[in-house]
Each structure stands twice: as C-alpha cells, then as structure tokens.
Amino acid sequence: MSTGITLEIPAKAEYLSLVRAVVASAAGLDKSLGNQRIEDLRLAVSEATTNAIRAHANLGSDERITIRYGLENDRIEVEVQDHGTGFDPETLNSAGPLTEPGRLGYEGGFGIPLMRILADEIKIHSADEGTTVQLVVYVSPPTKKPPESD
Amino acid sequence: MLGISHSTRGQWNVLHVMGELDMGTGPQLRQEIVRHVTAGNFHIVIDLQNIDFIDSTGLGILIGGLKRARSHGGDLRCAGLSDHLKEVFDLTGLGNVFALVDLGEEPSTWEDIE
C-alpha cells in the first residue's frame, strides 16, 4: 500500500477502540461503501488487532502493533502486523460449529472464522518473527442513475 | 468503557449493557454475570440495545454466561440486537444458540422460548 494511514499502537486492549474509530472513519470517506460493509470491516480489523494484542501479551512484548489502511482503486486493504511468535492459521478452526456437543464449553475460536466471513479476502502470513493479517474489502462502484427522460 | 445497569422482569435479571464490548471491556460483563449466578440468579437477559460494538471476545463471554446459567437450570437470553449484531449472530451460529426476547413484551411470553 503506497498511500493511506498507518497506526502504531501499544499492544493494549484500550487502543482497540481507537483502531476501530480510525478504520471506520477512513472507510466512511468513500461514499460508495455502505454502512454494513464498514461495520464488517470494523469488526474484522478489530478481531485481527485483538489477536495481535494477545500475541504480544503472550510474549510479554512491549513492541508496537502496526495497522496500515489503504484504499486502492476498488479495494480497501488493511494490514495488521504483530511481532508475536506466530501460529499456523490452518489449525485454528478446530473448535467446530456451535451445534457440536461440548462446543459451548469453549468461549473462543470465533475471531478468525469471523474475519474470513466478513472480509472479501484475507491473507495470513505467520512466521517465528510475527504475523501479518491482510484484510481486503471491495468497494463497489457507485450505482449510476439512469438518465432522466424528458 | 462499558456501562452495565440492572433491572428485574419477573424471575429474569436484565443486564443493560452500554458501550463497546471487546477484549478490554468484556471482563466487566463476565464478572457481572458471574456475580449474578453466584447470588442465585440463574435467569439472565443481556440487553444489547445500547451496545455500539461487540467482537468475538464479547460473544465468547455470552456463551460462557449461557453455559454457567444453564448449568444451574437457568438460561441466558439476549435482547435488543441491532441488524449488524443479528448478522454476526447468524454468521457465527449463535442465532441458533441464544433465545432472543423482546423487552417490550411481558416476561410471561418469554418463558416458552426455546
């Protein structure tokens, strides 16, 4: 992303609200993105940032988390980058659907599935030095009004 | 910030939650649910009408509360969902787990909801 907004936040939960506000405000500048899609993006980015904060907390890391927001052509891209220990995203869907017996005993496991549903694209690159989650939401072109007839 | 106030409707204890429910504020709600269950109030409604935002941490806390209430023969239900929150409930499957109640209706009409 060559243009856009970059936030560097302390890995603390009290900054989540700020991240959400910035992302929602920036996305709202594009009038073609409906409120529902803005809400979807806001939630997806919040989930990614929450995971990043947890990753730093697990390490006891004081490093900052980076959130990059960019609008290019027909897509909004948001990257959330942490410096945690990384994880294998393919192993995270093991909690199973809520209809499975015993699933209610586990409160977690919704974050990444939610991101996958809410974003139009998601890429997770995770390695020993940290994780970058890239979320993409497509911006629909504005609907053209039919020409008025005389 | 999360604001929580309390009222009763028949046997139901209604927790009116205001603000944003996430990793930072969620523990407040969990603590409040635990406090009620520990006090013997096993029928709980979470009023989400004035919630501006809820994430997976918040959803997890609702699930934990539901499990806790049901383990004592009670239930935890939700009220006041926005359209977006209804969508999130449906996407995650929570729409099939939580009974929704209308706080504008008499509690006697909630009893048979399963």
**pLDDT tens-digit profile of A9-38?**
999 999 999 999 999 999 998 888 888 899
State residue A146's pLDDT score: 54
Contacts of A38 in chain B (CB under 8 A): none
Rounded Cα distance between A101 and B55, Å, is 23
Smallest Cα distance from A111 to chain B, Å: 5
pLDDT in tens, A62-83: 899 999 999 988 899 999 999 9
Nearest-CB residue to B23 (from A53, A98, A105): A53
CA distance B7 to chain A (A): 26
Percent of chain B with pLDDT over 70: 97
Q: How far is A6 from chain B (nearest CA, A)?
A: 22
Q: Which of A59, A68, A54 is nearest to A11 (CA)?
A: A54
E strand or H helix at A65: strand A65-72
Please tell me which residue of chain A has the smallest CA distance to B61: A107
Average pLDDT of the segment spanning B44-48: 98
Cβ–Cβ under 8 Å, residues A60 and A30? no
Q: Which residues in chain A are contacts of B63 at CB distance < 8 A?
A: 98, 104, 107
Q: What value does the mean pLDDT take over residues A126-145?
A: 82
Is the pLDDT reported for residue A150 higher than 50?
A: no
Q: Do A114 and B53 count as a contact with CB atoms less than 8 A apart?
A: no
Strands A5-9 and B100-101, sheet pairing: unpaired
Of A36, A107, A111, the CB nearest to B63: A107
Separation of first and last alpha carbons in chain B: 32
Instruction: Tell which residue, A79, A90, A94, has the closest CA to residue A133.
Output: A79
Asked if pLDDT for residue A143 goes beyond 80, the answer is no
Q: Is the pLDDT of residue A90 over 80?
A: no
Q: What is the pTM of this model?
A: 0.87
Confidence of residue B11 (pLDDT cuts 50, 70, 90): very high
Residue B93 confidence (pLDDT) above 70 = yes
Tell me what pLDDT residue B113 has.
Answer: 57
**Shortest distance, CA B53 to any CA of chain A (angstroms):** 8
Residue with the larger pLDDT of the pair B40 and B93 = B40
CB contact under 8 A, B92 and A13: no
Instruction: Count residue pairs from A and B with Cβ separation < 8 A.
Output: 66
Higher pLDDT, B16 or A90: B16
Which residue(s) pair with A85 in the sheet? none
ipTM score above 0.95: no
Q: Are B30 and B59 in contact (CB under 8 A)?
A: no
User: Which of A12, A20, A110 has its CB closest to that of B60?
Assistant: A110
- At residue B61, does pLDDT exceed 60? yes
Q: Averaged over B55-78, what is the pLDDT?
A: 95
